[in-house]
Amino acid sequence: MLNLIDGTRAVLRSKSDAFPPLELHYAETCIVPQAAGDYEISSPDGSEVKVILACVRN
């Protein structure tokens, strides 16, 4: 689970094209399943963004 806590917006992209790019806005949350693989988070305008990453461990 990712939550955008700083920055106006960010784009979540799959490194393997497992899912289409997803735009997140401030305080929005999304769930990224482990099966989605590697991803990257960036700001469309190059400004700094911060996210909280929460994981469930077994």
Could you report the per-residue pLDDT of 18-54, keeping only the tens digit for each?
A: 999 999 999 999 999 889 999 999 999 999 999 999 9
Please name the amino acid found at residue 17.
D
Cβ-count burial 46-55 (b if 16+ within 10 Å, e if not): eeebebeeee
E strands within 1-58? 2-6, 9-14, 22-25, 29-30, 39-42, 50-53
pTM of the predicted structure, to 2 decimals = 0.84
Q: Is the pLDDT of residue 3 over 90?
A: yes
pLDDT given at position 41: 97
pLDDT given at position 7: 95
pLDDT digits (tens, 9 = 90+) for 8-27: 999 999 999 999 999 999 99
